[in-house]
Structure 1
Amino acid sequence: MAKFKIKTKSPASNVPKTTNGKPKEGKKPNKFKFSVKNEDAEIAQLTERYSTVKIEENCSFSDFPLSKKTLQGLTQGQYKKPTAIQRESILPALQGKDILAAAKTGSGKTLAFLIPVFEHLYINRWTRLDGLGALIITPTRELALQIFETVAKIGKLHDFTTGLIIGGQNLKFETKRLHQLNIIICTPGRLLQHMDQNPLFDCTNFKMLVLDEADRCLDMGFETAMNAIIGNLPITRQTLLFSATQTKSVKDLARLNMKDPVYVAPHEKEQYTTPNRLQQNYVVLELGDKLMMLWSFLKAHSKQKIIVFFATCKQVKYFYQIFRKLRPNILLLPLYGGMNQEKRNNIYGEFCTRNNVCLMATDIASRGLDFPKVNWVVQLDCPEDTTQYIHRAGRTARLNTSGESLLVLLPQEEEGVVAMLEKTKVPINKISIDQKQLFSPIVKIQSFLAQSPELKETAKRAFIAYVKSVALMKNKKIFDVAKLDLDSYAKSLGLLVAPRVRFLSKIGIKNVKNVKADVSVTIAEDEEDSEGELFTVKQSDKPVLDQAQSTSDSCPVSTQVHKKKMTKVKILKRSLVTNKKITFEESGDANENHDEDEVYDIEKARAQLRLVDAADKERYKDLRKAKRIAKKEKGKRKADDAEMDEFPSEEDDSVDLNWLPDPDKVYKNGDHTETGMKEQVPKKKRKIIEKIDDITLTEAEQLAMNLLL
């Protein structure tokens, strides 16, 4: 649901009450008619100061040429002194220049671009009728929500309307109100959807474009959406780019039509690129020990605020579910991209307000989010590059506070990652873990997986997702799938056997680190059963083949292995022993010595089964034919009966005679004779009946008429 901030002033509300057309005594005269002139004078004064003011290092916000409404909002938000990035970027932005700013995490970049947005619209006397004036684009929904809250905090005295447009919310509600917004804070996907589908979207008067975390907005993940968005915006505009790891690509700057941008990097000449109060350490562990280390770490730091970063969403989901069952003495919260937006907002707000809590998240929580009072940032999975590391570690030690960061590396990752961090001026120290402080919950995890098939499937998905994430990394010198001990990693997740990762077999890598292969026989996992079963296979006395050798084209053994690969069904068929007829003597001893004719012949039995099967099919066919014939005959009989019943005869036994009178009532005492009939007929009618035989036809007709009357 889009959130809007709308504030208007009514001139009638400022007119004092009158008596007989005159102001009441003791009331000051109305100053509303002078407010427009005062505003014009303030705008003229501010525009003159843009080119003359000089900002010193120990200045305050009041030293900047800012409007009274903005200064009052900053004071109410308890912002007194500007940071380094704010001192160097606000004034050039007020002068209308394009900005390319890079600063450390937690250095106050949000205010550095919000203040110029407010001032630019204020100087141009922007109203709701002017439509869209500024557009702020962020890569994540949580960051957009955080910026919107900051706008509501410091810009509440301005008369601008602000809207939050992100995915997962009511699209119809946003569509109806989008044309009323002066400032839009959004993510690229939802903004492009409105541009394509919403006829009310209008950017004719557009003035400013702001990209927060600009390097992420312009990378390959958002390239298509950003190109379409930039193509729909006016060319004449002011563009501000802000990030902790800023892009300097000429291609990116050309896409944005930036003209002589001012590069602002106050921390570029400092000794380190990360905050000074951030203590950074790393530890080297085997892949199978990561879960045990994290469990022990949470048990030892149960009263602190921690963020744990994983490589994939499925890992976050599994670790959250299994750790919640283990019940550590700390609140656990998950945050990943596949969650419902309302749930993501609730988790984000709860983590900000809690103290003893652990947030398990993917990299959606690594960009720009200002979590208060975070004590530890644990990167359980190695980041792809130094940019990702800096953004992850930057969730702590923000705005002159202290914090600690712990990076977990595999032995094959240590050399390359440490060299990469040192090259980008990131100080990091190696520490070791006391083995006595490690506690393994593997037994409990295995029992939980045995009780819950759904949890077991989640563990398999987490395993496969991690392997795929390592395989997709660009730096193959650091991230090598062939060096991963997948068998021990699967056991650490509670799985008895490592699940099959199909794409590994395509590139010639097996799931297990070291595999002893027999030249004559090799067993492959069943595709339908991801866990497989254990089979005992005779191994050759030849030395163990290295993975690189087994996959090389020059090794003749690898070709033989592929040709003689067998499935479980083939092995069972080969080991099948035909039954033998065994007889028992009178003494009870078994006698297996029979002639060859008495031995059970499987081929002969198969031939007999085929004959019996053919006979059964023929018999079944005859039965079906007989049923069809009987059904047709029955239908014909029913049709013939229906034709006969259409014109029934008078002698049909089915004629209803219930309408006839009862003879017992007509004849007295049940006497049906002529005497009985005469007794039942009245005397007057009886005389008439006796004369009927002697009357003529004319007299009979006259008699009938009399009787009817």
Structure 2
Amino acid sequence: MRANQKIKIKNYSTRIPEWKKIDKEIQQLTQQYDQIDPGSIQTFNDFPLSRKTLDGLAKAGFTHPTDIQREAIGVSLQGHDILGAAMTGSGKTLAFLIPILECLYRVRWTINDGLGSLIISPTRELAYQTFEVLKKIGQFHDFSAGLIIGGKDLKGEQERINRTNIVVCTPGRLLQHFDETWNFSCENLKMLIIDEADRTLDMGFAETMRSIVSNLPSQRQTLLFSATQTKSIRELALVSLEKPVYISVHEKANTSTPTNLTQSYIVCEVPQKISLTWSFIKNHLKSKIIIFIQSCKQVKFIYNVICKLRPGLPVLALYGTMGQMKRMSIYDTFCRKQYACLFATDIAARGLDFPAINWVVQFDCPPDANTYIHRVGRTARFQQGGEALLILTSREEQGMIKQLEDKKVPVKKIEVNPNYIHDLTPKIQALCAQFQELKEEAKRAFSSYLRSLILMGNRKVFDVQSIDTNAFASSLGLEIAPKVRFIKKGQKQEQSIDISTKSSIENNNNIEHSEEENKDDDDDDDNDDNWFTVKKVSDILEQETVNLPEPTEKEKKLTKAKLAKKLRKKSLLINKRFEYDDEGNPIINSDEEDQSSIYNIEQAKTRLQQIDKADKEVYRALVKQKHQERRMKEKEGRRAAREAKRLKQKGEEEEEEEQEQKEEEEINGNDEESPSNGTNEQERLERKRSLSPVEPKKKKKKHRSLTEFINEDTTKTINDTEQLALYLLSK
């Protein structure tokens, strides 16, 4: 054996299988669940989490847990149902994603086991964002995950959903799979997570959520998270919580919004809102801005107007009626931009994490204080700063500010110098006159805004009658306000409801006065029972009853000729508007008065002709000025060319004179030297002739006599015959 050679020692110890290592790790982790102390946890390594989860968190850059994560992860690992509430941007997503991974890892979940965890989000963008975070922190696990949202290929989802362990979805798409996917089953579901629970469980999704929960097993763990958590018994009964633990880390805080968020509001009437927004964008070109608007049609119109005016900042729009792929691309584009402005509806108000937002502007008053909190939560996230601006009308100011004060939201009023607001009304009117599509969008935006005010529940804050519709229509670029019929219907319904409620109140008061004498001390027990009764006041639109017409036999279609005969017999005027009062009597001359006060065609024509004439005069003046400038330039060029030519000729003449003088001097010098020599004189003359340019003498044509011409040659040309004719004429 060589001296430098190493001795190989064989290891005969038994190798531990991988599944035994996993069992040992799971056993050690489950023993530590009851010993979790949220106060002593500083990093994620202090939690009893699996090595795969910790590696995923470290690679994604998550090291220190937030308050809601510190409180909620331990409780969820112990198997309790949770009602979690925390400020926007506090990290609620990780508070339920980490327990999902640990729960499935603890029970050794595989692809063949099917669906193990279900995450329901109210919007597609929030579901997409949650799915992206799940892919980052769960990259070392072997679970399969899927994003189930509307706008994607349904067949592709149906093929893979049965083999998916974690599903992130929206309520509508999930219910569609329950109805149409035959092999989709949730029998083995372990965890149900509802993100933004107060929005997901409200009246908009109540029926959908009730259908979804009916297909889920009762033995499961349920987690509900939101920035404004619900405690309503009616809403919580939908998800069947069992002894839930309520976690609210910021319940004792002085404010409901982050402390590093600066909040202010401005009082501005509806017709001046677009001009104010334009001035705000022009003064914040080096910022990242989100502007929330109430309806999709308003977003589309304002976005197109701002794009055509070119503010000098990338402008984007995000609303519900867009295609799914376009919504995803706009979301990614806005996240990547350093400076940009996003016009959005409330689909971007909840849960979305846009990086480095500087300003959140609320173009329209939010429906309630909770919506305001979610909107301003897009900025000042994760200990960063941000600013929020709320635009209110004088009618909305008192009621909305009171709601915000009740929710512990500090908002201060600021004043804006009117000189810094640029009026956009003439430009918008010119754009609407140039682009017919933009004019139609303006009409739709007008009616959708008024409809949104009518659908608002709080009549103390939102009042359609307080809006000057003519001024509002003019600010949108419209000559006259479009007819909105549902406003009159709503007024009549409100009047009828007020009369019915007054009569019912009077009847109830009479009954109460008659029964007050027979009341005993048992009234206190009855009042205690009323805590669990749901008292619902129906809205105006819900009380409207529609009387369907009885089915009749199909009538024959009238031709234009027959219809014209009927109208002629009834002596009806075509395109004439009539108005009637409540009793059915026609109002005399109402149409002429309304038209004279609203719109005069002749005045509009003359005004447009005057504007056209002024524009043409300005255009002619500009063209004339351009032509004058061009002619002056050409004239100066010609003058300069003539001057250069004159100077050149003058220089050539001077050079010739100098040369002649030199030649004369040379000749004179030669004469003085040899005056008597004749040969030298001849040489001098010859040299002078050679130097001076002499034109060659033209040869004279020799006229021949007639006999010479005839006898010279028998073949004559045309030139020869000409000479003969000239000779004869001369003779």
Contact 1:55 1:64 in 2 (8 A): no
Report what 1:136 is aligned to: 119
Residue among 279, 289, 297 paired with 1:296: 279
The answer to which of 57-66 and 109-118 deviates more is 57-66
Map of 1:342 onto structure 2: 325
1:461 to 430, 436, 444: 444
Q: Which residue identity is paired with 2:396?
A: E
Task: Assess, with a 3 A threshold, how the Cα gap between structure 1 residues 58 and 207 changes in structure 2: closer, same or farther.
Answer: closer
Distance in structure 1 (CA, Å) of the matches to 2:313 and 2:201: 38
Matched, 1:260 2:246: no
- Deviations for 1:71-96, whole angstroms, at most 9, x for unmatched residues? 11111111111100001110010000
Q: Report how far residue 56 of structure 1 moved.
A: 1.9
Cross-structure match for 1:436? 419
Alignment of 1:388-403 (within 5 A): 388-403=371-386
- 8 Å contact from structure 2 (residues 209, 238) kept in 1: no
Q: 1:284 to 1:191 in 2, by over 3 A?
A: same
Report what 2:69 is aligned to.
86
Structure 1 position 361 matched with structure 2 position 347 = no
**Correspondence for 1:277:** 260
Cα pair distance change 1:163/1:324, threshold 3 Å: same
1:333 corresponds to: 316
Give 2:84's aligned residue: 101
C-alpha contact (below 8 Å) 1:284/1:410 kept by paired residues: yes
- Report deviation, 1:449: 0.6
Q: 1:499 to 1:175 in 2, by over 3 A?
A: same
1:186 alignment counterpart? 169
Please state how far the C-alpha of 1:507 moved relative to its aligned partner: 3.8
Name the residue aligned to 1:522. Answer: none
**Aligned mates of 1:131, 1:454 — CA distance in 2:** 50
SS state at 1:56 partner: helix
**Matching residue of 1:75:** 58
3-state DSSP of counterpart to 2:192: strand
Amino acid at match of 1:94: L
Give 2:162's aligned amino acid: H
Identity within the alignment, %: 51
Which residue of 163, 173, 178 corresponds with 2:156? 173
Between stretches 308-317 and 500-509, larger displacement belongs to 500-509
Q: Distance in 2 between matches of 1:53 and 1:472?
A: 48
Measured against aligned partners, the alpha-carbon deviations of 1:263-301 in whole angstroms (never above 9, x if no partner) come to 000000000010111100000011111010000000000
- In 2, the alpha carbon distance for the partners of 1:188 and 1:26 equals 63
**Cα offset for 1:35?**
1.4
Q: Name the amino acid aligned to 2:346.
A: D
**Residues of 2 paired with 1:31 and 1:264: CA distance?**
48
On the 8 A contact 2:41/2:70 being kept in 1, the answer is no
Question: Matches of 1:317 and 1:489 in 2, distance apart?
Answer: 17
Instruction: Name 1:563's counterpart in structure 2.
Output: 587
Tell me the secondary structure at the aligned position of residue 48 of structure 1.
Answer: helix
Q: Structure 1 residue 30: deviation in Å?
A: 11
- Contact 2:192–2:220 (Cα < 8 Å) also in 1: yes
Aligned partner of 2:454 in structure 1 is: 471
- Counterpart of 2:570 in structure 1 is none
- Which segments of 5 or more consecutive residues in structure 1 lack a partner in the other structure? 1-24, 510-525, 533-550, 552-556, 573-709
What's the secondary structure of 1:255's corresponding residue?
Answer: coil
CA spacing shift, 1:299–1:123, aligned 2, 3 Å: same
The corresponding residue for 2:17 is: 34
2:35 aligned counterpart, secondary structure: coil
CA–CA distance in 2 between the matches of 1:347 and 1:571?
45
> Which position in structure 2 is the counterpart of 1:517?
none
Deviation for aligned residue 1:466 = 0.2
Q: Deviations over 1:529-587 (max 9, x none)?
A: 9xx9xxxxxxxxxxxxxxxxxx9xxxxx9979963265569999xxxxxxxxxxxxxxx
Amino acid at match of 1:289: Q
Quote the Cα distance in structure 1 between the aligned partners of 2:574 and 2:74. 64
Q: Which amino acid aligns with 1:397?
A: A
The answer to whether the 8 Å contact 2:41/2:47 transfers is no
The Cα shift of 1:528 comes to 7.8
For structure 2, which runs of at least 5 residues remain unmatched after alignment?
1-7, 493-572, 597-731
**How many residues were matched structurally?**
508
Change in 2 beyond 3 A, CA 1:57/1:484:
farther
Instruction: Compare the two structures and name the one with the higher helix fraction.
Output: 2
Paired residues of 2:68 and 2:91 also in contact (CA < 8 A): yes
Corresponding position: 1:236 with 2:235: no
Measure how far apart 1:250 and its partner are: 1.4
Q: Find out whether 1:488 has 2:483 as its counterpart.
A: no
From the superposition, tell whether residues 125 and 459 of structure 1 become closer, same or farther in structure 2 (CA, over 3 Å).
Answer: same
Rounded Cα–Cα distance in structure 2 between residues aligned with 1:380 and 1:566: 37
- Out of 232, 251, 263, the residue aligned to residue 234 of structure 2 is 251
How far apart are the structure 2 equivalents of 1:261 and 1:338?
37
Q: Compared with structure 1, are the counterparts of its residues 59 and 563 closer, same or farther at alpha carbon in structure 2 (3 Å cutoff)?
A: same
Tell me the secondary structure at the aligned position of residue 71 of structure 2. helix
Question: Structure 2 vs 1, CA of residues 418 and 562 (structure 1 numbering), >3 Å: closer, same or farther?
Answer: farther
- 8 Å CA contact 1:55–1:63 kept in 2: the answer is no
Superposition pairs of residues 567-582 of structure 1, within 5 angstroms: 567=591
- How far off its partner does 1:53 sit? 2.8
Check if 1:148 corresponds to 2:172: no
1:387 corresponds to: 370
Query: Which SS does the other structure have where 2:172 is aligned?
Result: helix
The alignment partner of 1:307 has SS state of strand
Match of 1:201 in 2: 184
Change (3 A) 1:420 1:33: same
Cα displacement string for residues 204-245 of structure 1 (whole angstroms, at most 9, x for unaligned residues): 211000000001110111111100000000000000000000
Q: Is the contact made by 2:197 and 2:229 (CA closer than 8 Å) also made in structure 1?
A: yes
Q: Which residue of 2 aligns with 1:373?
A: 356
CA contact (8 A) 2:145 2:166 kept: yes
SS at structure 1 position matched to 2:17:
helix
Q: CA deviation at 1:310?
A: 0.4
TM-superposed CA distance for 1:259, in Å, is 0.8
Out of 100, 111, 114, the position equivalent to 1:117 is 100
